[in-house]
Chains A and B, each alone.
Chain A
Amino acid sequence: MASSRDDFIIAIRSAFLKKSTQQKFSLLTLVFVSIFIILLSSLDFKVIRYLKIGINEIVYRSSFVVSIPENFIKNTFIEITDYSTFFNDYKKNKRELSQLKSSNISSEIIEFENKELKELINNYISSSDKILAKIIVDHDSPFLKSIIINKGSKDNVKIGTNVYDQSYLVGRVIEVNYKTSRVLLLSDLNSNIPVSIVPQNIQAIVTGTGDNYGEIKYIKDISSVKFEDESIVYTSGTGAIFKSGKPIGKIKNIEDQSDNKFLVEFFSDFSQLKYVFAEVTINTEIENKIEIDQDNNQNNIPITPMSSKIKILEDELKIIEDINLKFKGENDYLKMKVNDLNNQISNFKNEISSQNEKIAQFDLDKKETEFLKMNLYYGHKCRRSFFNTKGFTVGSDEYRNCVLNKGRKN
């Protein structure tokens, strides 16, 4: 018994401490180093942060290079799958595009109104820039859903920067390096987004599930809530982590939701992202800070709250003028169309009258032919002659009536 315990201790000690000829460190040393690194990474020291940023930069770039062959295979696979659904997608996109075009003008106005109201509330101008970022690492890990983009602190990306696929929100930045950043996707289990659901106007939190859909949580009295199929889910802006009014997804298959579990189907397919937009926001206080606008540089007009509001109103006016121009153009076009149609109608009328004339002429000719035909048969009965003194003079109306009546009627 004692001998087997000794064997166990010897084996363990040997496993931990013995170095083979090739090994430079014992395993026990490496275990301690690992634990030390874990502890350090949980503490937020400046030196460690810079060290991590350095490692991240090198590893992300290397990962991008190493992933090229696999990405090629992956993209080929995705492209082949895409081709099978290409036509349906095209039709759907075309329909959606026409709908979007029609709603674009009104949303522009709403956007400006929104901007103006926000400015009145916050007393600062929030100017945002969407910068295009390429996804350099996208390893669809089963545990953590995140991507690496090629924009970092150099491009004003900060922790919390919102990231979009077109206009759909896909996540936020959780780690910033000099030229790269890590984006936590909405589908990650650790992602929680405050949302509004329309048309019911319900406030809720959408949590990632690890798949390409989220789950609605934290609704007061969920059992009484009635969602419509395809209800739109967008960010409410509560907590100021995400900007408000950014579309996320729609409620998925409410027929199946017997256990009060509502799922949100994200608009964006996170597995097929290649480029995203990072919204870099710069807040400029307008009460304390007076800046010279670039446009007004030549005139040296300082930016004051009033001037910025005037600028917004000017922008709004410009949009209204644009809309007016558009309507005017449409009006001219419609007028032209009406004129064309009137011309067409008058042409048709002319054509109809000429056709009527032709028909009348045709009827006349038909009657004459009939008369001549009957004249051949009955002309001798009606014609005045030596033997027929009661007949009529050829060419007179009586003669014509006589022929048409197939001879004289006594």
Chain B
Amino acid sequence: MVKISSRNSLNRFYSWLPIALLIVSVLNEFDFNYLKLDYFSFNFPFILIFFFTLKDFKHFDYLIVFLAGLINDTVVGLPLGISSLSYILICIATSYFRNITIRPNQIKDWFYFLFIISLINSINYTILTLFFSYTLVLMDYLVNTFFTFLFYIIFVSIFKFYLKGVND
């Protein structure tokens, strides 16, 4: 009986893992910036949110994604609500893409991801520079978008293993 209950709690934790990973990543800014690689940076929450909302993962609650955005803004020091808006826009984009897609294709998803993150980073950049008078380097945003795009395919293969494990 004890064995069954511990297995259940393990399963529950396993099914909530993407949300836990999202919260940890926004709190921790999990980005390897301390390696001091010139220009290297990527946005892990974008990949995570895009993939799991595209797959309509049952525990990936939009409200938690929204709250994760607020946490990210607080940690990074951006005006409150910017990251929430970005994350929710990703959710809208994936929801639309899911609705119009009949046969899912990984390469199509990948390039759609590039389009979406470019659009969202542009919106971010525009809001921050126009409305909040932040000085930002556009090149940093471009490089961040590029590496996030590259890393997407790597993380997707890991997440697929995870989904397979959950379904089994």
Contacts and interface: CB of A to CB of B under 8 A. Distances in A.
Nearest to A192: B135
Contacts of B31: 139, 141-142
Contacts of B78: 144
Given A15-B96, A15-B99, A66-B24, A142 B81 contact: no
A220 interface: no
Given A59-B75, A70-B30, A41 B99 contact: no
A78 B31 CA distance: 16
Interface in A1-38: 7-8, 10-12, 14-16, 18, 20, 22-25, 27, 30-31, 33-38
B75 to A, nearest CB: 5
B92 A34 contact: no
Contacts, number: 145
Interface string A31-69: 101111110111000000000100110011011001100
A18 B28 CA distance: 32
A31 B88 contact: yes
A165 to B, nearest CB: 17
Interface stretch (B4-12, B53-61, B110-118, B150-158): B53-61
B28 A27 contact: no
B90 to A, nearest CB: 10
Nearest to A59: B74
Contacts of B60: 22
B136 to A, nearest CB: 6
Interface in B38-61: 39, 41, 56, 58-61
A90 interface: no
A292 B65 CA distance: 57
Contacts of A143: 76, 136-137, 140-141
Contact-residue size bin, chain B (C-beta under 8 Å from the other chain): 35 or more
A74 B29 CA distance: 13
Contact of B75 (A20, A35, A41, A137): A137
Contacts of B89: 31
A141 B91 CA distance: 24
Given A22-B59, A27-B88, A59-B74, A34 B81 contact: yes
A175 B132 CA distance: 15
A108 interface: no
Interface string A62-95: 1100110010001001100000000000000000
A331 interface: no
Given A38-B80, A59-B27, A66-B27, A189 B92 contact: no
Given A30-B63, A38-B85, A141 B76 contact: yes
Contacts of B161: none
B162 interface: no
Contact of A27 (B58, B62, B79): B62
A40 B81 CA distance: 9
Interface string B121-148: 0000001000110111100110110000
A160 interface: no
A42 B70 contact: no
Given A12-B96, A22-B58, A41 B79 contact: yes
A77 B34 contact: yes
B60 to A, nearest CB: 8
Nearest to B136: A143
A15 B95 contact: yes
Interface in B66-117: 66, 69-71, 74-82, 84-85, 88-89, 91-93, 95-96, 99-100
A38 B66 contact: no
A34 B85 contact: yes
Interface string B14-41: 0000000000100111110111100101
Contacts of A237: none
Contact of B82 (A36, A38, A137): A38
10 contacts: A18-B95, A25-B63, A37-B70, A40-B80, A55-B80, A62-B27, A67-B28, A70-B30, A142-B39, A142-B41
Interface of A: 7-8, 10-12, 14-16, 18, 20, 22-25, 27, 30-31, 33-38, 40-42, 52, 55-56, 59-60, 62-63, 66-67, 70, 74, 77-78, 137, 139-144, 146, 175, 182, 189-190, 210, 271
Given A70-B30, A137-B75, A189-B135, 15 more contacts: A8-B100, A16-B95, A23-B61, A24-B62, A25-B62, A30-B62, A31-B89, A31-B92, A55-B74, A55-B80, A63-B28, A74-B34, A143-B136, A189-B136, A189-B137
